Amino acid sequence: MKPLFILLTVFFNHAAIAQELIVLGTLQDGGSPHMNCERTCCAHPKENEFVASLAVADSSLSIIIDATPDFVIQTNYLRKQFGHNNLAIFLTHAHVGHYSGLIHLGREAANTQKVPVYAMRRMINFLLNNGPWNQLIELDNIEPRSIQESLPITLGNGVIMEPILVPHRDEYSETVGYYIKGQSKTALYIPDIDKWSAWDQNILSIIPTVDYAFIDGTFYEGGEVPRPMSEVPHPFISESIQLLQHLTIEDRNKVYFIHLNHSNPTRNKTFEGRKSIEASGFRFAEFGQRFTL
Ligand SMILES: [Zn+2]
Ligand SMILES: [Zn+2]
Ligand SMILES: [Zn+2]
């Protein structure tokens, strides 16, 4: 082989195993079809719509944020793409869409060995003190590892994960989002937060400091579901774009709405409201999207 060809081969092989951020799911905890939903939003379930999750993967490790009810499909997808089963799991909080997929690691299923599960202190205590989760720990299927706010953790492959506390209905655990730092870029992931105004940090000043921002897009607007929406507070997408329109177009392009409720009309790409949000520079996360980190 000629030297240039060898050089290019080495370069492209290296490029092929570079770390990538991958969108594994985009829906709110209950997914779609959603139990007892007879509306059009769940009448024709789409392919490749799973509960919200992101991963950072390369040829040695897949770091997956949250273990969703679609965890099997999502981790099988990672294995096919990256050729291994090496997982590190980071949990955001103890709502069912974000940790219940851990059941698949247990003796009745994959029976894994010491898969590291990183979580905040209350979340770890919840796993330690409640079945069936504590059995996963007793049988060494998972190995809980405690993390702290603003204390970055560096994984074996160099990816840095930093939890960031957010206000949310914290019945069983605190709730965090994550900064995900790769070789050259940083992503922010906040799938659940009550309202931007309830936070002691300013999302407007954070977005310019990151390269990608995957943020809570649960509901499009008030009145979307037939229940008091104050019971399940989230920043409506309509509110978020009001707030974030003050960003430059370059910064608006970094914003991807994720964690969409089954009822959210912006799931439909032909919905006029979605088209105008996209025309303003904002985007929507989709399964299989890949980003360099
Ligand atoms: Zn959620
Ligand atoms: Zn529905
Ligand atoms: Zn939640």
Q: Using the structure block, give the residue that is written with the tokens 């605190």.
A: 174
| Total number of domains in the chain | 1
**Whole-structure pTM value:** 0.93
> Each residue of 190-224: pLDDT tens digit?
999 999 999 999 999 999 999 999 999 999 998 88
Whether 283 is in a domain gets the answer yes
Residue 230 has a pLDDT of 85
Beta strand extents in the chain (DSSP E only): 20-25, 53-57, 62-65, 87-90, 115-119, 142-146, 153-154, 160-165, 176-181, 186-190, 212-216, 255-258, 283-284, 290-292
Q: What is the CATH number of the domain that holds 243?
A: 3.60.15.10
Whether 230 is in a domain gets the answer yes
168 CA from centroid of ligand 3 (Å): 7
202 CA from centroid of ligand 2 (Å): 32
Which residues are placed with Cβ below 5 angstroms of ligand 3, an ion? 95, 192
Residue 12 has a pLDDT of 47
- Indicate if the pLDDT at residue 31 is higher than 60: yes
111 CA from centroid of ligand 2 (Å): 34
Whether 2 is in a domain gets the answer no
> Each residue of 50-73: pLDDT tens digit?
999 999 999 999 999 999 999 999
The model's confidence at residue 14, banded by pLDDT at 50, 70 and 90, is very low
Whether 78 is in a domain gets the answer yes
Whether 127 is in a domain gets the answer yes
Whether 13 is in a domain gets the answer no
Using alpha carbons, list the distances in angstroms from residue 226 to 37, 43, 119, 182, 222.
11, 17, 33, 41, 10
> Each residue of 126-183: pLDDT tens digit?
999 999 999 999 999 999 999 999 899 999 999 999 999 999 998 999 999 999 999 9
Structure tokens at 257: 């709405």
Whether 157 is in a domain gets the answer yes
Q: Which domain holds residue 288?
A: 18-292
284 CA from centroid of ligand 3 (Å): 19
80 CA from centroid of ligand 2 (Å): 30
The model's confidence at residue 18, banded by pLDDT at 50, 70 and 90, is confident
- Indicate if the pLDDT at residue 29 is higher than 70: yes
3-state secondary structure 4-29: HHHHHHHHHHHHHCCCEEEEEECECC
158 CA from centroid of ligand 2 (Å): 40
Whether 265 is in a domain gets the answer yes
